[in-house]
Amino acid sequence: MPLRCLVLASGRGSNFQALLEASVRPQAPYSLEALVTDRTPCGAEALAARWQVPAKCLPYRDFSSRAAFDKALAHRVRAAAPDLVLCAGFMRVLGPAFFEACPTPLLNIHPSLLPAHRGLYTHRQTLEAGDAFHGASVHWVTPELDGGPLLAQARLPVAPEDTESSLAVRVLELEHALYPRALSYLAEAGPAARPLMLAWDGEALVPWP
């Protein structure tokens, strides 16, 4: 049976859209059952309306503390009872209160080759470090920021002329291909499988050379 997924998002929803488009392909290994955002309006919310995905907003500013927000979010996830939660541009760091209240596994996509360059400004960090490769990682979410085990990763070469902006564009395109591919891999191989390592040739994901 397809994995029943709930998506967490905060912004324009480009990864959410990529997941939506892949979810309607024949024999897709997952379905997107609900969306939860932490702000309104946002692009992800508009996408959910267009695709008829039930959506709920929990405005972060309405809560007295991070722990209060985390508990409310955990309650919302438990009420939806998904098999899996997918973070797709969700800009809140989940704290202990969430993980204590919600046993549902979470995946996130992060724009770097983890464990390198956790947190924000990963394109800048990559350029400042002089890395030969950049990319994105799909990983299990744990209380440690961007520290959970890898499910899948894809890389691309950093060109001499690359800037933060050009890397952002190229890596985002890679992310849109990688996230659905990682879910297919999860459905086939199971959560204990070795990480799937890929490369982006500018048009498609290919085996890591």
Q: Which residues are designated catalytic? A: 110
**CB neighbours of residue 124 within 10 Å:** 14
Mapping DSSP to helix (H, G, I), strand (E, B) and coil, where does residue 192 land?
coil
Mapping DSSP to helix (H, G, I), strand (E, B) and coil, where does residue 103 land?
coil
**Cα–Cα dist 209/195, whole Å:** 15
Phi and psi torsions of 205, nearest 5°? -85, 135
| Strand bridging mode 150-157 / 55-57 | unpaired
CA angle 91, 189, 3 (to 5 degrees): 55
- Amino acid occupying residue 135: G
